[in-house]
Structure 1
Amino acid sequence: MRIAVTGSIATDHLMVYPGRFADQLIEGRLDKVSLSFLADDLEVRRGGVAANIAFGLGSLGLRPVLVGAAGRDFAEYRVWLEAAGVDTESVRISDSRHTARFVCTTDADQNQIATFYAGAMSEARELTLAPIAERVGGLDLVVIAPNDPEAMIRHTDECRALGLSFAADPSQQLARLDRAEVRRLVEGADLLFTNEYEAALLQQRSGWTEHQVLEQVGTWITTHGADGVVIARSDAPTVTVPAVPTDHAADPTGVGDAFRAGFLAGLSRRWPPAQAARLGCALATEALQTVGTQEYRITPADLIRHAADAPVGIR
């Protein structure tokens, strides 16, 4: 299965604050917030949603095509991704902008405050899918992950025009999109990925009810953190897949991206969605147990065997 992953490519600056953000928030004064948190640790890691998903797919034995824009500082990162099995030939290199930056602070309760600098990502709108599909001999699925909003819309429209199956993953960009744009990104998607909060936000921004969203997509996959994953279709019972537990949670950054990679890797093997979600949950836990979004190391056969033991429920 040939999968193209479009979206952000970034460098992550990850900090740890030993206290609780909530302790510094004063009720009734949240309209004017000026806070500084003294972090104990700083990790500089490779990241970006598309790159994270592509890394996970490569780690599970696939050869995903990464489609996005990066800066001239991408050379070392390219070598890293290629070594992980990622096709980076379709990454656009900006002449004037740095690779995007994600700056995130995590507190003792695993809450996060983050800022994202787009940088070269704004040039992703210049990329087109048709020549990429021709180069690799066709695409079975295109993932539309968070990216420059114009790029996300362009890639989605291209998928429809070219008859390519696509997965909508608007997540962090939902807050920037208006109703028409959200609907345009979701309508006709074979897969829709959200977390629990984004599922509610998507309904608010689109003006669609849950039932109406399901009428627009093939399968809606919603992650619920430690409570697992919900898989919904308009024509089938809703399936719940529990998370893979761990006592060694280190960093939640990129856990959702790892889930998507595992889920898509399962689908590439023609597994049913529930079984694919087991693999997604297993890879998500591997990511949770490491600091950085691409620092986990797995043995695919062991992970697949572990994922096969997880139960599935129907509600």
Structure 2
Amino acid sequence: MPRPSAAPAGRIVVSGPIATDHLTTFPGSISDQLLAGRLDHVSLSFLVDDLEVRRGGAGANVAVGLGRLGLRPVLVGAAGADHGPYDVWLRANGVDTAGVLVVPELFTARVLCTTDLRENRIASFYPGATVRAADIRLDEVLARTGPAALVLIGPDDPGAMLRRTAECRVAGIPFAADPSQQLARLDGPQTTALLDGARYLFTNAHERELLLRRTGRDAAAVLGRVGTWITTLGADGVRIERAGRPPVLVPAPSERARADPTGVRDAFRAGFLAGAAWRLPLPTAARVGCLLATLAMESPGAQEYRYERGAFLARLADAYGPAEADAVRPHLG
């Protein structure tokens, strides 16, 4: 059995949004409620069947995944006056919430979404306390929690993302760039500022093309600015790219069910960063991430999946071979 390698000094810091999703189902068709010729003035009301309130937010999702794998990450983000029960949940799942700013005059960010029987949706996003995320100073957080081995900079308020990147550069802290859906709000110079010097850059296939368009660079030029570029490809797995090396493709394991894609991307990042923190080869880290993402896909909600060490190792061996499970086993919490 391989011996675990020495972990780098400090913990993983996850900087990103904290949110809740309020999901309802309309037992009909939303489009049937729209009247032809009356679309210039719409006033709709839906009697819905149910209400599900789920914990989410990319920052919190990644932090929970890392916590379940035993890494005790530090979460940096802004939440509102309603954050108390969510904070209890985070801490119960191994997350250090010393970096969470509670803004008493605002609510935690939330998504309000109604889905009909044809999977049409009407959704609203309330940013809430995330608009204050740039008020958090990373040096003050680390004074309370100890040093950081790596900071994941997730899709938060753009001002907070840019501040966190600058703080990492000044302090010499390795960082991972995960602009995700915020690429739609960022211009070319802002996008470049977020990725230059990143140890890891995370995108999906669509975000990859958008990032290239935003920066005006080709893939080779971007790879010259980052250590490793990880592109998630959905059911096709993950592509790992490094400058001057051929890309590595890691397939996704088979799903036992397909319940909800919410939070799958965040679970992958948690698993990958855990593997990297354990100093496993990057393809092995990606396999850990792919399996954790599969668990998230098989459960409703971004954080509701169950993690059990023995079952996780068994599925890792089934998907990628016993040697991969043996490499991961000494590190798993």
Same fold, TM-score > 0.5, yes or no: yes
Over 3 Å counting, the alpha-carbon distance change for 1:105 and 1:310 in structure 2 is farther
Matched, 1:185 2:185: no
Distance in 2, matches of 1:111 and 1:197, equals 22
Q: Displacement, 1:137? A: 2.1
Q: How do 1:1-315 residues align onto structure 2 when only pairs under 5 Å count?
A: 2-15=11-24, 42-104=51-113, 114-311=123-320
Distance in 1, matches of 2:92 and 2:308, equals 16
Q: Deviations over 1:61-96 (max 9, x none)?
A: 110000000001000000000000000011001021
The residue that corresponds to 2:331 in the other structure is none
Q: Deviations over 1:116-167 (max 9, x none)?
A: 2211011110011112223222100000001111000000000000000000
Distance in 2, matches of 1:281 and 1:16, equals 30
Over 3 Å counting, the alpha-carbon distance change for 1:159 and 1:172 in structure 2 is same
| Corresponding letter in the other structure for 2:171 | L
Contact 1:70–1:94 (Cα < 8 Å) also in 2:
yes
| Corresponding letter in the other structure for 2:216 | G
What stretches of structure 2 of length at least 5 have no aligned partner?
1-7, 33-39, 322-333
Could you tell me the TM-score, scaled by structure 2's length?
0.84
Over 3 Å counting, the alpha-carbon distance change for 1:276 and 1:129 in structure 2 is same
Could you tell me the TM-score, scaled by structure 1's length?
0.88
Q: Deviations over 1:4-25 (max 9, x none)?
A: 000100011234678999x99x
Distance in 2, matches of 1:228 and 1:264, equals 16
The residue that corresponds to 2:3 in the other structure is none
Contact 2:20–2:55 (Cα < 8 Å) also in 1:
yes
Q: Deviations over 1:79-114 (max 9, x none)?
A: 000000000011001021100012346688989775
Over 3 Å counting, the alpha-carbon distance change for 1:82 and 1:4 in structure 2 is same
For these two proteins, the number of residue pairs brought into alignment is 304
Distance in 2, matches of 1:222 and 1:114, equals 27
Over 3 Å counting, the alpha-carbon distance change for 1:245 and 1:104 in structure 2 is farther
Contact 1:159–1:165 (Cα < 8 Å) also in 2:
yes
| Identity rate, percent | 54
Over 3 Å counting, the alpha-carbon distance change for 1:103 and 1:128 in structure 2 is same
Over 3 Å counting, the alpha-carbon distance change for 1:40 and 1:241 in structure 2 is farther
Distance in 1, matches of 2:69 and 2:120, equals 29
Distance in 2, matches of 1:285 and 1:20, equals 31
Distance in 2, matches of 1:177 and 1:51, equals 22
Over 3 Å counting, the alpha-carbon distance change for 1:14 and 1:228 in structure 2 is farther
The residue that corresponds to 1:29 in the other structure is none
RMSD, aligned CA: 2.7
Distance in 2, matches of 1:40 and 1:211, equals 51
Q: Displacement, 1:300? A: 2.6
Based on CA coordinates, which of the two structures has the bigger radius of gyration? 2
